[in-house]
Amino acid sequence: MQVTTFSFVVGEVSKGSRFSEVYMESVSNDAFLSSNNLLVAFTVIPGFKIGKTVIQCQVYLSPSRTQVNHRRASR
């Protein structure tokens, strides 16, 4: 008999966290997604890590405060 053990972790991202393409997938296709300064507005579906496999959480993103302020100043 062989016993297999694995770890199972559920992950949810906090509001205001920096976006990571490794652990997160955006559910929106907005123009600001090309930026590096994206923050999580809220988690839509939590992510999982089963053993070494990562299943990305799905998040709704918002631009960082500096991006918003820069857009307002350029208008």
- Tens-digit pLDDT string for the chain (75 aa): 666 666 788 888 899 999 888 899 999 876 556 667 889 999 999 999 988 888 999 999 988 766 444 444 555
Domain at 8-74, CATH from 1.10.287, 1.10.150, 3.30.1360, 2.30.22: 2.30.22
Give the whole-angstrom CA distance, residue 32 versus residue 46: 23
The 3-state secondary structure of the chain, one letter per residue: CCCCCCCEEEECCCCCCECCCCCEEECCCCHHHHCCCEEEEEEEECEEEECCEEECEEEEEEECHHHHHHHHHHC
pLDDT for the residue 52: 86
Looking from the CA of 55 toward its CB, the CA atoms found within 13 Å total 11
pLDDT value of position 40? 92
Q: List the domain boundaries for the chain.
A: 8-74
pLDDT of res. 32: 58
Q: Measured at the alpha carbon of residue 30, what is the angle toward residues 68 and 72, in degrees to the nearest 5?
A: 20
- pTM: predicted TM-score of the whole model, two decimal places: 0.68
